[in-house]
Amino acid sequence: MKESDVVMAELWLNGKLLIEERWEDIQDEETGEIKQETRYAIPGGKVEEDETDLEAVVREIEEEAGIIIQPDGEFVKSAEELTDKPEKVKVFRKLLDPQLTPKDGIILCAPHEVIELGAMGKLMPYTKQHVDKEFVEVKNGA
């Protein structure tokens, strides 16, 4: 049943991308002190052994964004194998009903704002790879 290791959801609401705020423990290289920093990611996570990729992405969207989506085939696979690691990553794209309201901790960003977050080193690794591939290359005409 399981096809991929990780699934992610590129979710669009009123022309903006849903981004999740996450707190990450970062160790200061000089002092060794642990501090929390904000990182941003599109919703996603690991696929369980008994799930299809579509079931996993629907579950992750509900867990992380608080939005219940039906696995109705409206998802479009937009990217695959984002990383050079052995993990297989799939990203699904979906336009959301404009009436939906995501839970706290979810922000809406225009594509240029997401690119800026990436340039500041604020995106989680898989999200950064996806943004670089889907937004930055497109913006630069690649």
58-76 pLDDT, tens digit each: 999 999 999 988 766 556 5
Helix (H, G, I), strand (E, B) or coil at 9: strand
Q: How many structural domains comprise the chain?
A: 1
The answer to whether position 63 is within a domain reads yes
The answer to whether position 18 is within a domain reads yes
**85, β-bridge pairs:** none
The answer to whether position 131 is within a domain reads yes
Write down the pLDDT at residue 45.
93
pTM of the model: 0.80
Report the run of H or E that residue 63 belongs to, with start and end.
helix 53-65
| Domain at 34, CATH number | 3.90.79.10
| Domain span holding position 83 | 6-139
The answer to whether position 1 is within a domain reads no
